[in-house]
Amino acid sequence: MKKQLFRYIMRLTIVSVLMLVLMVQQSCNMSKDSTNIEFEFVDPLEKVLAEASYFPPKEAFAEVVRGEHATLQFIVRSPLSLTDLRVSVSPAAMDGKTLPEAKTGFVGYVKVGRTIWDYSRDRIVSSSGYYPDPVLEQESVNVDFGNTQPIWISVPVPADASSGEYNGVVTVTGTIGKKKFSLSKDYRIKVYPVTPEKPTLWVTNWFSISPGQLRWMNGGNLYDEYSDKHWEYIRTLAAKMAEYHQNVAIISPLALSEFKYENGKWNIDFARFDKVVGIFIEEGVIGRIEGGHIGGRESTWLSQFVVMVPNKENDPSKKFLNLPISDPSAREFYQEFFPQLNNHLKEKGWDKIYVQHLADEPIEENIKSYVEIAKFVRKLVPDFKFIDACHSKNLGDVLDIWVPQLDFMDRDYSFYNEQNKKGKEAWFYTCLSPKGEYVNRFIELPLLRTRYIHWVNYKYNIPGYLHWGLNYWNVSDPFGEQTSIQYEGGNILPGGDSWIIYPKDGKLFSSIRYDAMRDGIVDYELFRMLEKKDSVKAREIINKVIYSFNRYDNNIEAFRAHRRNIMELLSEK
């Protein structure tokens, strides 16, 4: 009996000891896991969702030409929350030479709370409804446990940089629990001996300079229109646009000018228009001046076009009246406005770079009123070039620069291509449409889709691109809900349609989509260079990537290989 009891106690003791050992071992492993912070490189064309968790090790490597930006993306993820996460980047160096200081930021997440119909097969779906987009230029962030935080690094490569491979180190620091940590990874940038020319692709993203929009650069607080602060913000906007290769600016002489009706004549002061244009020239945007629209729909989408005419009563609450061009008051005003504007542009030396909008997106139902306006203005300023986004090719011969929506360009490509061949221009635009498999810049689309916008420009010999929304931020919070809805037709404005930059503390932050567009513009110029050197190779490469207006190769590794091929071919002597 005693022996059995002894054996039982021994067994119980052994089991208890084993369990204790296992518990200690498990505790040690948990302690080890809690500090096992993931820090990996991810291709910057990958959109990293906060809930993403699998990141196979990759070499941090970027290949670029002179005069563009080398972009790197790293992620940090931890089983415990991190505080005060910071990033530092040592200068990329080669044989005693260094590239300029890197610009760093943390990729922020924004809400896309409405889905739209007819989405593409490669749409990115976030279980949380939050997507990566703004590049937050701030010193540090906190990261909740289990979330992934992308880090965005952009290294400007000078146009005169020496070719070769540059090496540097990226270091992240922060606190996990009460313990400080520091992790580092090497990175490499290969610079090819290729220098693109000044961008030749015409690119315009329409923007607003109203205090109602730019107040978001001032913490949402309004300020006096045309105050020193307002002009400062306008200049900041222009500088950001120039940095991202926008070379066409929509600036309205009608909206910016001051009008007085005295003794049966209109006196027009263009001083404010001149100041805005001057800022955009000084900052390197223009290029071309898009004179803002003089008209719009009378009411609904199907209604006829009317034109804006200054109110003779000088009523601040109603600066303009909306009148048909057949109205005597409208004719009287424009018979003075356009000749005066034409003379003023010639005096300033801007007449050769000025193009005029009339009214946006004419359709079959209101073509007649659009053509009536165009013919009337043409008689007043026969040398002006007219440009407009259009939904129909049945406008006669009134336009000099046709800008159909991309799907209309696809449908009627032979017509628009003929315009380019015969000395006119045919660009394309995207907005809330087209959807489906077409390129666009929606937040839910892969970044390759956005970058390929300008590959489509090259493939189809289309010399320009237009989008309506650079900074039309919503009324409550630019970092909040990214979608909105047009109640007349039930059209959802997808996330990413209304703006592609973000305002904060007097600055304008880029987005990962805006960076993709910028890089796509460089791609276009590289294709143009290769076409001059070897047109067969240029056509061969573009045809392997862009199959039609709405079919593309969406593989990032394949894209990198094709772009490397372009750079290698251009490097050959």
pLDDT digits (tens, 9 = 90+) for 468-484: 999 999 989 999 999 99
Residue 316 pLDDT level (bands cut at 50, 70, 90): confident
DSSP 8-state class, residue 199:
P
- Rounded CA-CA distance 387/371 in Å is 13
- Average pLDDT value for the chain: 93
pLDDT of residue 9: 53
Q: What average pLDDT score do residues 253-279 get? A: 97
- Rounded CA-CA distance 346/526 in Å is 35
Residue 11 pLDDT level (bands cut at 50, 70, 90): low
Residues 419, 94 contacting (CB under 8 angstroms): no
- Rounded CA-CA distance 266/482 in Å is 43
- Rounded CA-CA distance 242/306 in Å is 33
pLDDT in tens, 448-472: 999 999 999 999 999 999 999 999 9
DSSP sequence for 493-521: E-TTSSBSSEEETTEEE-BHHHHHHHHHH
On the question of pLDDT at 36 being above 90, the answer is no
On the question of pLDDT at 30 being above 50, the answer is no
DSSP sequence for 362-425: --GGGHHHHHHHHHHHHHH-TTPEEEEEES-S-STT--SEEEEBHHHHHHTHHHHHHHHHTT-E
pLDDT in tens, 217-232: 999 999 999 999 999 9
pLDDT in tens, 164-190: 999 999 999 999 999 999 999 999 999
Q: What average pLDDT score do residues 102-112 get? A: 98
pLDDT of residue 86: 98
Tokens of 291: 């004179």
pLDDT of residue 324: 98
- Rounded CA-CA distance 444/132 in Å is 9
Residues 132, 124 contacting (CB under 8 angstroms): no
The residue among 553 and 3 whose pLDDT is bigger is 553
Residue type, 296: G
On the question of pLDDT at 234 being above 80, the answer is yes
Q: What average pLDDT score do residues 137-163 get? A: 97
pLDDT in tens, 62-88: 999 999 999 999 999 999 999 999 999
- Rounded CA-CA distance 67/521 in Å is 12
Residue type, 418: E
Cβ neighbours of 355 (radius 10 Å): 19
Element (H, E) at 562: helix 556-571
283-287 LR contacts (CB < 8 Å, sep 24+): 283/235, 283/238, 283/239, 283/241, 283/242, 284/239, 284/242, 285/238, 285/241, 285/242, 285/246, 285/247, 285/248, 285/249, 286/247, 286/248, 286/249, 286/353, 287/202, 287/246, 287/247, 287/248, 287/249, 287/353
What is the percent of the chain where pLDDT is above 90?
90
On the question of pLDDT at 12 being above 50, the answer is no
